[in-house]
Structures are given as C-alpha cells and as structure tokens.
Structure 1
Amino acid sequence: MQLTIKTLAQALALAFVATGAAQAEEIIKIGHVAATSGAIAHLGKDNENGARMAVDELNAKGVVIGGKKYKIVLQAEDDAADPKQGTAAAQKLVDARVNGVIGHETSGTTIPASRIYHDAGIPQISPSATNPQYTRQRYNTAFRNIANDEQLGSALARYAMQNVKAKRIAVIDDRTAYGKGLADEFIKNIKHGGAATGTTVVSTQFTNDKATDFSAILTAIKATKPDMVFFGGMDAVAGPMLRQMKQLAIPIKFMGGDGMCSDSVPRLAGDAMSDGQVICAEAGGVEPSQEKGMADFRVAYQKKYGIGVQTYAPYTYDALMTMVEAMQKAGSPDPARYLPALAGITHKGVTGNITFDARGDVKDGVLTIFTFRNGKREKVTVMK
C-alpha cells in the first residue's frame, strides 16, 4: 500500500512526538537501604516511607535539572540491619548505576557500605546512622543529616546528671556499632562530668540485638543498686528488657538513644513501663520556629500511609530532597558533578536547615529528649 504525502507526514509527526516524549523525561535512580525485614522492620519501613514521600512530591511537581525534565525512581533495598546484607545491597545499587543513595538506616550497615559507595563515587546521605566512625573515615561521598553519637551521648549524660540527678548508673549495650558506640560515648561523658555531680557507672553489661532473656545481666545489675539503667540498643530489645526489669522489681529510670525512642516502645513493653520512667533522645529535632513544618509533615505522612511517623521518616525525606537540590544546583544528576554542590549545600528542610561540615556531619545538629506518658511519646526539651 502506497503512503500519501499526508499520511507520511502524520507518521513522521507521531514518531517525532514519541521520540520527544521519550527524551523529555529522563530517569534519576536513587537508592534507599534500610531494615525492612527483621526485628526493626517498622523503623526501616518508616525511613523508606519518608524517602517515597519525597520522590512522590518531586515527581508531582516536576523535576528539571540542567534544562532537562527527569523522573525520580526509588530503588529500595532491604539489609535486615545485617552488615553482610548491607554490603550486598550496596553493591547491587552500584551495579544498578544509581545516582545517589539515601541510607543505610543503622550504623552497623552504613559504615561497611560507605566504602563501596565511595569506591564507586556515589554520594550517600544517612538520615539515621549516628556512629561517629561513619564520617571519621573521611570519605568525601559520606554525609549524614542528623547529630552523631558524640553529641547524643554527651546530651544524654548531661541530662542524666543535671536533670534526672542520677548517681548510680548501670550501662547495657547490644554490641552493635550503634549500641556500643552510643554507650561508650555516654560512659565517657559520665566519667568526665560525674565528679561534679557525684554520678558514677556502677555496672557495665552487654547483650545482643536479638536477645530476649536478660535475667542474668539484670540480676547482676540489681546487686549494684543503681538508680538508672542506660541502654545502647533498639526498641525491639528495650521493650522486653523493661518487662523483665519489672519482673525483677527494678523500677528505676531507663534511658537510651534514638533506637529505643519510637512509638513502638509502649507496645513492646506492655504494662511494664510507668509514666516518665523511660527517657530517650533522638538525634534530631526542631526549634520552636520550625515546629509548624514538622507538624505539617507528620499530618501529611499520616494521611498518606495511615500510620504515624515512627522516628526518622522526616530526616529521610529531607536527605532525599537535599540530594536532589544539589543535583539542581550543579545542573546535573551525575554524581561526580553534583557531589561538590552537595558538600556545600544549604537546604531548608522540615527538620531544619541542612548544611554539612568538612567531615560530612550536619552542622549545629540538635537533639530532642522524650519521655512516655499514658502510652504516648512526649517531648521534653530540645538540646545541642
């Protein structure tokens, strides 16, 4: 069948439109890694949800970088909070040629994965890994947008000594990079400032992040007559530990970091947790002038997912937004081109202004102290 000039022109026009549409929307792949299976899957999914919120908002608005339109695609991987799975997930993202990575969730997976991203030249922002070792490696691709354990351990120690006025503190950690790192920083600060307040560490014990029986270490702790237990670990262990503390008649203050500061703690502890007994801190928080932005985010999150924010979804959201803004400032999603822009970025996020120091740590990181009353998490104060 012979084509007329008119039909040929129409066919060429359609081909041109199709080609233009294909060229009009290029893809940026951003990896996200967290523990979306295992004991802390609820926290990992919270992180992933925050990243997905950012991706959906960006795509709805339209992303233009260097005059080109892009679609952001999130490649989400599960590392189950296991270092071996963490490095496997990292290599998978490198092989997929992602433009950047948000994560990992835990310090134990973030630290070994960071070398793989560095060797591939892929920028990485962790919204929740707090162990100082992550940025002490001096990888120019490694960033975090929350305070680290040096700041967290120091703030918790000051609060324990000055506000709670604890005198005899027992310390337990779960031997993970996160839990041990936080406990070590806490102990260091108690030893440094305890002479002035009469505060001492009377017992140091350890468990693991999958343990369920703490009777032996709690019995040993009880014999030292502490007035506070400090725990470096996650909520999945903290909840059962609180139950066994009640069974052994150890009704004392229980303090820890962000890993045990989720809304899941009351459920995991059951009726073992009394009002005001648990004191925890998140490596993050907002000043009063920024509270509306955070509140609006929480409302939007609840509307989108039908559940409340667990812990770090706002920081994951901000991390991805920060990365894309760096691409826009550089005029390219190519990692080598936008990495310098990321290092010098100032991003106004829902968690505050995000800018990084020479190591990749967030500048002027703040921390929020919480307690629990009537089964609900309650903000006590914001500290630096």
Structure 2
Amino acid sequence: MRRSPSRIFASLLGFTLIIGILTACGAGNPGGSTPGNGSNGGTQGTITIKIGTEFPTTAGDASTGMPAQNGATLAIKEANDSNFLPGYKFVQVAKDDVGASGTHDQTVGQKNVTDLIGDPQVVGTVGPINSSVALAEMPTTNRAPMVLISPSNTNDCLTKETPAFECGGAKSKVNQLRPTGKVTYFRTATIDQYQGAALAVYGHKTKGYKTAYVIDDTEAYGVGLAKNFTTYWTKIGGTVLGSASIKQTNSYENILTEIAGKHPDVIFFGGNDSTGGITIRQQMKSVSGLANTPFLAGDGSKTSALAKAVKPLGGGPVYTSIPGIDPSQSPASKTFFDAYTKQFGPDAIGAYSAGGYDDTKILLNAIKSVVTSKKADAPKDSNDDAGAAKFRQAVIDAVQNIQYDGVTGHHSFDKNGDTTNHFISLYTIGDLGSGDGWKFLEQVDTSSLQ
C-alpha cells in the first residue's frame, strides 16, 4: 500500500528523535568528570587510573593537610597536562581524615583507605600526614595490598624495631602493621630518631641551651619524637628537668606553672600544632617565668597556623624542623613553587606542599614504569578486582625499586620502605606574609650524628 508523504515524514521524524535520544544517553561519562575509555568510565581512547590522597584537610589540621593535598593535586594535573602517560588519564580521589574532634582521626583514616581499596581503579594512596593515623591504615593497605606513601610520617616504629627503647621487644609493631610480611608502605620523611637528634643538637650545641623540659601530646608521633629528643639531648650533655605526656586540652597553665618553677632554658614539645603546639606556646606567654623561654618542636608544629597564632604575642624564640631537605634549597624549587602558587596562591604553601607533590610523582613514575614495561595492565573498570590486585602489586614493586630526584631531594627506599634521605631542616618564625611564615635556618645531614 502506498503511504502518504506526510506519514513517511512523521515516521522519519520519530526515528530521528529516537536516535538522538539514544546518542545523548550514551555520550559523555555517566560517572561525572572522571575520564577514561568506554569500559572504565571516561572519554573514548583513554584509560582511567585513580590515585587516592588521604590527609586531614579541614578544621584544626587544615594548615598541615591541605598543602600536602594541593601538592598531590598539582602533580596529577601536570601529568595530565603533559600527557605523561599517553592513553591514560589520572584522577585524584581525595579523602579527609579529620574526625568529630576537629583533628585527625584514626577511625576515619582507616575507613578512608578501606573505601579507596574498594575501588579497583585506585592503584595507590598518598598519605597520611599523621603517624597515629598510619598505625590504623597500614594493616589494611598491607592486606589489600595497595601502596601507601607518606610525605610526613616520622614515627620510627612504623617500619623498624629500633631504637630498642621505643620500638624493641614487646613494643614492636612491625608484625601488626605488616601482616603479610611484605612491605607496602613507604615514606619520604626522615624518621624521628634523626629528627629528634637534629633538634637536640641544634638546641644544645648551636643555641647553647643546657636544660630542657619535655612535653608530648600522647600520640605516636609526639611520644616518639620526644623520646628521641630526650635520648640524644642527654647523650650530648644536656639535662632534662622533667617531662609530661598530656592529651590535647584547652589549658596547660597548671603544668606550665610547674615548669616555670624549674627554670628550663627551653621547652621541647613533641606533637602537632593542633594537639597542643599552638596552645602551649600561647599560654607560655602569660605564665610568669616562661614569657621569654624558647620553644622547640618538630615538623608537626611547623605550620602557618602556629606561626600566625604566636608571632603577634612576642616572647621567646620558636624553632621547628621538617624531616627532609628544605624545598627552597632544591634545584627544582623555583619551577615547583611558581606552579604551586599560580594554582593555589602564595598563602597556601605548607610544610608538606612539596612532599605531597613528590610522593605523588613517585607514584606516577612507578605506574608509568609498570605500564610501559607491560608488567601488568591497569584495571579495565571499577569491577576489575583481579586486574587491580595484579596492577597494585606491580606498582608496589616499582616504588620499592625507584630512584627519584625531586623538590625534596633524592629518594630511594630501603628494605623497610624508609627513604635513604636523612636530612633535617631547621626553621624559626619569619615573615608571616611570605609562604607559611617560617624562615629557613640550616640543614643537617644526620648521618654525621650517628
């Protein structure tokens, strides 16, 4: 039967509309902006590889965690912009481990890495900032297995059974943290036995302080750093007048009043700015006899938040450290800082901006090595558990054998996953309008302290 032209036109129009609707439904990425190929959730012709970041980026720890996350973000952006690995697109999956208390939280951190492991396209995680959080996360990532690489964890016992007074015998945590017996955790931060020694030498020999009172915040990092400082301080002839282990509180006035009666040359604090560093230094100013007493602390207190909180108060000098070379002393520093400040602004720089960047670059280089050597294929989609297991293990092996030169110096890893870079950098509060408000003083090669 012959159809009328109007009916033919109507049929064609309907067919065209259906095709248009189907095309629209199939176009783009149903999962949002994450790129990749058609099978793993992105644009045609690319494969998505995800990198987790696990830092405290809000509330009390934001001044430490957010700069590290920014560094990771910059490294991933540069990799994508430069077509670092042709045919692949890198996507950051950012997690925040701040809990209800407003600071880093072990339970939150452990859940974060569990969630990251649950996505087969996540091949590794950069973080955490805090050693106490690492204690909760390491057994989980080790069993997965998935690489965990931190720019800032310094507690000796995360990877070693030495020094014996801190990590030996019944105090050893290695088997608990490494249940498979294999190394999956790495760090580019120099450990506390070196950081504590460098701070002791600077206080006793460089500044001439003879007596110290030592406070820690009860957490793994703070306790370990305080013990290492105390051990080396007494080894080189200093006297410890007393010590106190105090969980973060709003008032330290009672212990500070007691300390004032002992007249120490310096107060040493093992802990973070958010777990006592800021409050102790603020309250020292109002305690008779401590207003001008020097305050010495490690990397957990080298934050813009502490510098901004205490410099306007005046009082005694404040000295801190980072467990590595000062990024500004690196040949790669200008390129990095120019790119970082362009992306995030000059006020966003922190102690671990460069560390977050370098750790992510190490992971990116390891991934590239696995792909280009064809040792394993990247997971094809978010359901490829078998592919993820093989690829993640290959990435772990590549990190273990890497030789990397970056903003924080040269990094390779020993059999325990620790960096072979043992430099410590020392600082005092400087110009609050410049970077994170800290002025570089000197760099110590701690191999000379052993």
The Cα RMSD (Å) is 2.6
Question: For residues 92 and 271 of structure 1, do their structure 2 counterparts lie closer, same or farther at Cα, with a shift above 3 Å needed?
Answer: same
Paired residue type of 1:329? S
State the shift of 1:149 in Å.
0.8
2:207 aligns with 164
CA offsets, 1:90-130, max 9 Å, x none? 11111122200100111110122011001001011111111
**1:48 to 2:88 alignment:** no
Q: Distance in 2 between matches of 1:322 and 1:286?
A: 18
Q: Distance in 1 between matches of 2:442 and 2:38?
A: 56
The aligned runs of 1:283-362 (5 Å cut-off) are 283-286=323-326, 290-306=329-345, 307-331=347-371, 332=376, 333=378, 334-362=391-419
Which of 224, 243, 265 lines up with 2:282 in the alignment?
Answer: 243
Which of 198, 201, 206 lines up with 2:240 in the alignment?
Answer: 201
Runs of 4 or more consecutive aligned structure 1 residues displaced over 3 Å after TM superposition: 18-23, 373-376
| TM value normalised by structure 1 | 0.89
State the shift of 1:286 in Å.
4.2
Q: Distance in 2 between matches of 1:24 and 1:169?
A: 62
State the shift of 1:365 in Å.
2.3
CA offsets, 1:58-77, max 9 Å, x none? 0111132xxx6111111111
1:57 aligns with 78
CA offsets, 1:34-93, max 9 Å, x none? 1122311221111111110011100111132xxx61111111111111111111111111
Aligned residue pair count: 366
Q: Distance in 2 between matches of 1:283 and 1:57?
A: 26
1:30 aligns with 51
State the shift of 1:157 in Å.
1.0
State the shift of 1:245 in Å.
0.8
The aligned runs of 1:263-282 (5 Å cut-off) are 263-274=304-315, 277-282=317-322
* Mapped contact 2:327–2:407 kept (Cα < 8 A): no
State the shift of 1:22 in Å.
4.6
State the shift of 1:287 in Å.
8.3
State the shift of 1:163 in Å.
0.6
CA offsets, 1:182-232, max 9 Å, x none? 1111111122222xxxx11001012223x2211011011111110100001
* Mapped contact 2:332–2:407 kept (Cα < 8 A): yes
Name the % identity: 29
**1:261 to 2:302 alignment:** yes
Q: Distance in 2 between matches of 1:103 and 1:117?
A: 12
The structure whose residues are more often strand, as a share, is: 1
State the shift of 1:239 in Å.
2.2
Q: Match of 1:369, SS?
A: strand
State the shift of 1:158 in Å.
1.3
Structure 1 stretch displaced more, 315-324 or 30-39: 30-39
**1:380 to 2:441 alignment:** yes
CA offsets, 1:333-378, max 9 Å, x none? 5111222221010012111111111111100221110012454421
Q: Distance in 2 between matches of 1:74 and 1:366?
A: 30
Q: Distance in 1 between matches of 2:342 and 2:305?
A: 19
Q: Match of 1:178, SS?
A: helix
- The structure whose Rg is larger is 2
Q: Match of 2:236, SS?
A: helix
1:120 aligns with 144
Q: Distance in 1 between matches of 2:148 and 2:107?
A: 18
1:132 aligns with 156
State the shift of 1:23 in Å.
5.2
Q: Distance in 1 between matches of 2:311 and 2:438?
A: 14
Structure 2: give runs of 5+ residues left out of the alignment.
1-7, 13-25, 27-36, 99-103, 161-173, 379-390, 446-450
Q: Distance in 1 between matches of 2:269 and 2:254?
A: 16
Q: Match of 2:330, SS?
A: helix
State the shift of 1:272 in Å.
2.4
Which of 131, 144, 154 lines up with 1:107 in the alignment?
Answer: 131
Q: Distance in 1 between matches of 2:220 and 2:133?
A: 9
2:271 aligns with 233
1:8 aligns with none
Q: Match of 1:99, SS?
A: strand
Q: Distance in 2 between matches of 1:295 and 1:162?
A: 32
State the shift of 1:321 in Å.
0.6
Paired residue type of 1:324? L
